[in-house]
Amino acid sequence: MKATYILAFSLAAYQLVAGEFNLMLFAFGYTFFGMFFSILLKTIKESKELEAKEAEEEKKPATTRRRKTTTTK
């Protein structure tokens, strides 16, 4: 979310400097960047967690123990 605040306030600063501060444009931009970056950061976080779990599972030795079957004749 920190990146969202920086982008939103830079958009507001640009609009103030340009002399055309539009509250609706600011609100839509803030909403878009907020949703986009929250989804992006959440996806990155989940993918890192998944990769960590997969790496941890690869480190574990594979168990190939099978139950012995006895055949009687």
Within-domain flag for 41: yes
* Whole-number percent of the chain with pLDDT over 90: 15
Q: pTM, whole model, 2 decimals?
A: 0.48
The confidence score (pLDDT) of residue 46 equals: 94
Say if 67 falls within a structural domain.
no
Q: Is residue 72 part of a domain?
A: no
Q: Please indicate whether residue 51 or residue 24 has the higher confidence score (pLDDT).
A: 51
69 falls within a domain: no
Q: Can you give the residue range of the structural domain that contains 10?
A: 2-59
Residue 71 inside a domain? The answer is no
State yes or no: pLDDT of 23 exceeds 90.
no
Q: What is the pLDDT of residues 45-67, one digit of tens each?
A: 999 999 999 888 887 766 666 66
| Number of compact structural domains in the chain | 1
- What per-residue confidence (pLDDT) applies to 45? 93
Write out the DSSP string of 24-71. HHHHHHHHHHHHHHHHHHHHHHHHHHHHHHHHHHHHSPPP---PPP--
